[in-house]
Chains A and B, each alone.
Chain A
Amino acid sequence: MAKTPKYPNPKFFKAKDNIDWKKQWENLKVCGSIFYDMFKETDWEAFKNGWKNTLKMDAERIKEEYNAFMALDQQGKLDAVLYGEKRLGRLYAKGAMATVRREWRGIKDTAYDFYEWARMWGMLLMTFSKDLIPAVNSALHYRWMISYFCCHGFMDKNIMGQRGRALRMSHLLIYDIFRYVAENLVLLSKADRKNGNSEELNKMLMTFDEMTMGQIMAGFPDLCGIPYQLLPVFLVSEIDQLTCVPYIDAVESFGLPSDTCPVPSSECGALVIDALPDMGCGFISSSMPCDGSTMASSYFARRFPNTPVFHLCFPVRYEDESVLQSAAEDIKACIKFIEDKTGAKWNWDAYFTAMKRFNKETSYELEKWEINKTKYPQLLGPCYELFRKWNYEMDGGIDPRVIKTCEKVSKLIREAYEDRDEAWVGKMKYRAIVWSCPAHYYANFSNWAANCWGIDVLVEMESLNFTKPLETEDKEEALRDLARLYERMVMRRHTNGGYHNVVTELWRQCEAWDAKLIIMYQNVACKNMATVQGLLDDQGRERGYDLIWIEHDLMDPRTVSRRTMRDKVNEFMRTVKNAEPVDPSLVEFEDEVCM
């Protein structure tokens, strides 16, 4: 059996950098002057008082926690030590950018959690050490790079309240995403012409729109494909709720109306303030998933006029098979574009190998769905939600290491199901489904809903995508299948191609998952979803579903804050369901500036 090639290709990391030190020195001077100005303008008295206040609050908090623990009876104390704390709201503090401490999950789970924390640090250090200087230097060029420093905090928020196998599965899944991010950050920094400036890497590097699925790069194993805006805009906005604010402000000052979707707005804003790296030998833009995203590519062309662009466009009426061939032809044209720009040749064997893996990963996904549809759902929460989207959209079977994670999770989920574990221990009260796109700035909303009210999100709309096994023998059919897959990318699968894909489909899924409660996100700028809100309301009412409409502005927490989002649920649960919170400490808390 042929040996599986190493992934990512080591030659990407070994490519020679060509850093212009003079320019870096200039940049360092600019940064230095900013730091100096900040230093000069700092009110040191207020700074000192701030710290004093923080220490005082910490002391009070520790005292309160101690008293609360001591007030427990013997069994309560034992439970707290063995199975962890139950009042998670106390992890938040007003004005704090992070939680006040990590969660106590009981002896065994805290030890495991700490092991994963250390494993993540180890992976990050090992990855960044592959080419440390450009990676670190990125922090002096791009403010979004700083947000990645709090990735552990992000992990903690996503696993809040989880125990046992659920905790283990979440850690396994999120680890793969972070590894992908870390590796791509290093490569992005190396390739960036402002920074690492590795022309050797740029010759092998094709950038593509973050809304373009990654599978096409599976046929080019010697090339590196990076979703261009994913790291500086899309993913980081899940980690730090305030990242995209400067982008949005910049592009709105430029003249873009504020009613447009924050995804393309932020992408364009990042171009306006020069927050995106200059790299690669070509860019694959796309018409997906919606009208706003279609338009963002002209902003790219304006900022980087020397980068050749291929516009990968797919039919909107994707269920109409008469337009499928056109989509397949576009994929062929895209492959030719990549071949022309890089000199690489499309490799069918590599493509089929990756797609076989992707098919297997899809079958593992279907297994998760089958278990989550039962009375004993096992894999819930933000880590799984993020993994599903990332695996479907970006990884796409290309990284052979991911299948191992899928295998481990499969084993754990079967065991958990057999033992009738509770995904959220003591918090399995309402079976819910999430519809429409979730707010990036509140990636762990489903986690909060479970911990606070016992609302267990079984599945998200964005997870329910194309599950047909992709063709891995016939080449022409394989291209058509790839087109079918792309046409049904995350979000697009539902919001395009006719209202029945999003309205009728919801009722079908509610039945399949036995969910009576629908968390209906309302991205105020999403025209595709806004235009069916009346139909959803009418038909949902007729069918007797509980719809909690939660407005958000996707990447701009100033329009609708996290707290306002929570209030919608709180109000609904109190007034409509007449329910009591599972954890009252989570009903009201401050996280306006918390990452």
Chain B
Amino acid sequence: MKDLKHLIYFESLLENADNELVKQAQAEGDICLGYTCYHVPEALLNIGNCFSVRLRAPKTGSIDIATYYMSNYTCEYARALVERAIEGGYQFLDALIGVDACSMMNRAMEHFEVLKVNTKEKFFVTHMDIPFKVTDYTLDAYTTQMQIHVLDNLKEKFGIDTSDKAIRKAVKEHNEVCKILTEIGDMRKAENPVITGYEYHVLNLVSFTCPKRLILPYLKETLKELKSRKPDPKPWFRARVAIVGSEIDDPNLTKLIEGCGAFVCSDRHCFGSTPGREVIELNDDEPALKQICRHIMEHSECARYISDEKVMQRRHTADRLAKEYHAEGIIYEQMKYCDYWGFERALVSHVMAEEYGWPVLSIDRLYNNGNSGQLRTRCQAFVESLEIKRIHKEEGIK
């Protein structure tokens, strides 16, 4: 296939958290709000002249200082953020909106505060409580948290208009991004798709890490380009796989998997499109804030949701996506040391294989994996096993 016009530009945007578009927006007077987790409603952080940047630590090398503070048995994503913060890599942020959804990420954000890694006068870090199940009262609590910790703080510190009208405007822009990415994402359903999993991962990541108003024109143009993009005469891949699991902000992992011949047709992970790129439907009967919070809680696929219906939802979603995107197998992945996904992956990789009948590859991985030979070998073996299954199926062998 012909290369996408803006792919190299998008890749360059992912080389730094403080990328060209972030700098441009801040130069124009916009306020940059960092966050890491889906449980912080992205739309709320794009209210008024605020914009959100979902934090990454690209090109992470040594994380020795963070390891001193947080030990070597903790999430590398959390440690990479602390390391980068100590190096001064997040000085550009105007605030950090944190959630106490997983302890290691929460601690990482606390280090931002304690070690005073950002010297901006108005810089603040806030930590919100996130429910473990979806009920009326947990929704109320969640909504209150967003009001107090996000909206009230933004109003007080930066004088942002946080009215219902302003929230709805932010949702509208957010939905525009989501619609584009959903339309592009749906192209992966085709038998011979015009986009690779890697390209989609890059597009999705720039949508999380760049100011919406500045990235939107590029995304629109890319959508248009894709509509007329000619695929290769024959599919380039040997098997189609869906990914399910924890945080992947490194597109090189997707590249590694695709380098083994597996087309990553679906991305259900933190920083993926499910959840994150679903359109938020608002009605006029209820305040927008509450509706956004409900949307987040209902769409969240985080393993920390403990209730039975959410446990089943996660399994059904994995199954549904794999079917919709015509995957032949599922890769369950987990950031090493992530407690939530460690338990979830171990159990559900069995469940998906035994109860849902999916071939499953179960892996735990480091923060940066682009060059992992071990992972490559396992992915290659999985692709081969999927091919063998396909051949057996075609030959009628059980």
A interface residues, Cβ below 8 angstroms from B: 251, 254-257, 259-261, 264, 268, 285, 287, 290-292, 294-299, 301-302, 309, 311, 313, 315-317, 320, 322-323, 325-326, 329-330, 333, 495-499, 524-525, 527-528, 530-535
Chain B: residues with Cβ within 8 Å of the partner, total of: 55
Q: Known contacts A298-B344, A527-B103, A535-B69: does B141 contact A323 (CB below 8 Å)?
A: yes
* In the complex, chain B residues whose CB is within 8 Å of the CB of A530: 70-71, 73-74
Contact of B343 among A260, A326, A524 (CB under 8 A): A260
Stretch with Cβ within 8 A of A (4 or more), from B25-33, B303-311, B320-328, B376-384: B303-311
11 contacts between A and B (CB under 8 A): A254-B350, A257-B336, A264-B343, A291-B102, A291-B304, A317-B100, A323-B141, A524-B73, A527-B74, A530-B73, A531-B78
- Top 3 nearest A-B pairs (CB, nearest first) are A534-B69, A295-B343, A531-B107
Max count, chain A CB within 10 A of own CB: residue among B334, B343, B344? B343
- Residue in A closest to B311 when the chains form the complex, CB atoms: A298
Contact in complex: A533, B70 (CB < 8 Å): yes
* In the complex, chain A residues whose CB is within 8 Å of the CB of B336: 257, 259
Contact in complex: B343, A298 (CB < 8 Å): yes
Contact of B304 among A294, A329, A525 (CB under 8 A): A294
Q: A189 CA to B130 CA in the complex, in Å? A: 39
Contact in complex: B311, A301 (CB < 8 Å): yes
Contact in complex: A256, B69 (CB < 8 Å): no
Q: Is B313 an interface residue (CB 8 A)?
A: no
Contact in complex: B71, A531 (CB < 8 Å): yes
Q: Is B9 an interface residue (CB 8 A)?
A: no
* In the complex, chain B residues whose CB is within 8 Å of the CB of A313: 131-133, 138, 306
Q: A254 CA to B111 CA in the complex, in Å? A: 35
Contact in complex: B110, A299 (CB < 8 Å): no
* In the complex, chain A residues whose CB is within 8 Å of the CB of B303: 295
* In the complex, chain B residues whose CB is within 8 Å of the CB of A535: 69, 111, 114
Q: Known contacts A254-B346, A255-B345, A291-B102: does B70 contact A534 (CB below 8 Å)?
A: yes
* In the complex, chain B residues whose CB is within 8 Å of the CB of A264: 343
* In the complex, chain B residues whose CB is within 8 Å of the CB of A499: 107, 110, 114
Contact of B339 among A291, A298, A301 (CB under 8 A): A291
What's the minimum C-beta distance from B366 to chain A, rounded to whole angstroms?
Answer: 13
- Residue in A closest to B349 when the chains form the complex, CB atoms: A255
Q: Known contacts A311-B306, A535-B69: does B129 contact A320 (CB below 8 Å)?
A: yes
Q: A531 CA to B108 CA in the complex, in Å? A: 8
Contact in complex: B129, A317 (CB < 8 Å): yes
What's the minimum C-beta distance from A321 to chain B, rounded to whole angstroms?
Answer: 11
Q: Known contacts A311-B133, A322-B145: does B100 contact A316 (CB below 8 Å)?
A: yes
Contact of B340 among A285, A295, A533 (CB under 8 A): A295
* In the complex, chain A residues whose CB is within 8 Å of the CB of B148: 322
* In the complex, chain A residues whose CB is within 8 Å of the CB of B132: 287, 294, 311, 313
Q: Known contacts A255-B349, A531-B74: does B103 contact A290 (CB below 8 Å)?
A: yes
Contact in complex: B138, A295 (CB < 8 Å): no
Contact in complex: B129, A294 (CB < 8 Å): no
What's the minimum C-beta distance from A90 to chain B, rounded to whole angstroms?
Answer: 38
What's the minimum C-beta distance from A319 to chain B, rounded to whole angstroms?
Answer: 10
Q: Is B347 an interface residue (CB 8 A)?
A: yes
- Residue in B closest to A314 when the chains form the complex, CB atoms: B132
* In the complex, chain A residues whose CB is within 8 Å of the CB of B68: 534
* In the complex, chain A residues whose CB is within 8 Å of the CB of B107: 499, 528, 531-532
Contact of A533 among B71, B308, B339 (CB under 8 A): B71
Contact in complex: B339, A295 (CB < 8 Å): yes
What's the minimum C-beta distance from A553 to chain B, rounded to whole angstroms?
Answer: 11
- 6 additional A-B pairs beyond A531-B103, A535-B111, beta carbons within 8 Å, are A257-B337, A285-B306, A287-B132, A294-B306, A295-B304, A299-B347
Q: A402 CA to B69 CA in the complex, in Å? A: 43
Max count, chain B CB within 10 A of own CB: residue among A257, A285, A533? A257
* In the complex, chain B residues whose CB is within 8 Å of the CB of A301: 308, 311
Q: A66 CA to B311 CA in the complex, in Å? A: 65
Q: Is B128 an interface residue (CB 8 A)?
A: yes
Q: Is B362 an interface residue (CB 8 A)?
A: yes
* In the complex, chain B residues whose CB is within 8 Å of the CB of A259: 73, 336-337, 342
What's the minimum C-beta distance from A351 to chain B, rounded to whole angstroms?
Answer: 21
Contact in complex: A261, B140 (CB < 8 Å): no
* In the complex, chain A residues whose CB is within 8 Å of the CB of B131: 313, 315, 326
* In the complex, chain A residues whose CB is within 8 Å of the CB of B311: 298, 301
What's the minimum C-beta distance from B317 to chain A, rounded to whole angstroms?
Answer: 15
Contact in complex: B110, A325 (CB < 8 Å): no
- Residue in A closest to B127 when the chains form the complex, CB atoms: A317
* In the complex, chain B residues whose CB is within 8 Å of the CB of A533: 69-71
Q: A322 CA to B73 CA in the complex, in Å? A: 33
* In the complex, chain A residues whose CB is within 8 Å of the CB of B339: 260-261, 290-292, 295, 527
Q: A290 CA to B106 CA in the complex, in Å? A: 12
Contact in complex: B74, A297 (CB < 8 Å): no
Max count, chain B CB within 10 A of own CB: residue among A259, A285, A290, A316? A316
Q: Known contacts A287-B306, A322-B141: does B129 contact A315 (CB below 8 Å)?
A: yes
| Binary CB contact string for chain B from 95 to 138 against chain A (1 if under 8 A, 0 otherwise) | 00000101110111011001000000000000111111101011
Q: A153 CA to B216 CA in the complex, in Å? A: 71
Q: Is B291 an interface residue (CB 8 A)?
A: no
Q: A259 CA to B131 CA in the complex, in Å? A: 25
Q: Is B144 an interface residue (CB 8 A)?
A: yes
* In the complex, chain B residues whose CB is within 8 Å of the CB of A532: 70, 107
* In the complex, chain A residues whose CB is within 8 Å of the CB of B176: none
Contact in complex: A525, B343 (CB < 8 Å): no
Q: A220 CA to B78 CA in the complex, in Å? A: 44
Q: A71 CA to B290 CA in the complex, in Å? A: 82
- Residue in A closest to B67 when the chains form the complex, CB atoms: A534
What's the minimum C-beta distance from A286 to chain B, rounded to whole angstroms?
Answer: 8
Contact of B138 among A290, A298, A326 (CB under 8 A): A326
* In the complex, chain B residues whose CB is within 8 Å of the CB of A285: 306
- Residue in B closest to A256 when the chains form the complex, CB atoms: B346
Contact of A323 among B69, B103, B145 (CB under 8 A): B145
* In the complex, chain B residues whose CB is within 8 Å of the CB of A329: 135, 137
Q: A259 CA to B114 CA in the complex, in Å? A: 27
Contact in complex: A333, B135 (CB < 8 Å): yes
| Binary CB contact string for chain B from 340 to 375 against chain A (1 if under 8 A, 0 otherwise) | 101111110111000000000010100000000000
What's the minimum C-beta distance from B127 to chain A, rounded to whole angstroms?
Answer: 6
- Residue in A closest to B342 when the chains form the complex, CB atoms: A257
Q: A261 CA to B342 CA in the complex, in Å? A: 11
* In the complex, chain B residues whose CB is within 8 Å of the CB of A302: 347, 351
Q: A534 CA to B345 CA in the complex, in Å? A: 30
Contact of A256 among B108, B128, B337, B343 (CB under 8 A): B343
- Residue in B closest to A286 when the chains form the complex, CB atoms: B306
Q: Known contacts A301-B311, A302-B347, A323-B144: does B73 contact A294 (CB below 8 Å)?
A: no
Max count, chain A CB within 10 A of own CB: residue among B129, B304, B339? B339
* In the complex, chain B residues whose CB is within 8 Å of the CB of A315: 129, 131, 141
Contact in complex: A291, B141 (CB < 8 Å): no
* In the complex, chain B residues whose CB is within 8 Å of the CB of A330: 135, 137-138
Contact of A527 among B130, B337, B343, B364 (CB under 8 A): B337
What's the minimum C-beta distance from A191 to chain B, rounded to whole angstroms?
Answer: 23
* In the complex, chain A residues whose CB is within 8 Å of the CB of B110: 498-499
Q: A264 CA to B339 CA in the complex, in Å? A: 10
- Residue in A closest to B314 when the chains form the complex, CB atoms: A298
Q: A245 CA to B130 CA in the complex, in Å? A: 34
- Residue in A closest to B355 when the chains form the complex, CB atoms: A302
Contact in complex: B364, A257 (CB < 8 Å): yes
Q: A528 CA to B102 CA in the complex, in Å? A: 9
Q: A14 CA to B342 CA in the complex, in Å? A: 43
Q: Known contacts A496-B103, A531-B107: does B140 contact A326 (CB below 8 Å)?
A: yes
- Residue in B closest to A536 when the chains form the complex, CB atoms: B69
* In the complex, chain A residues whose CB is within 8 Å of the CB of B114: 499, 535
What's the minimum C-beta distance from B355 to chain A, rounded to whole angstroms?
Answer: 10
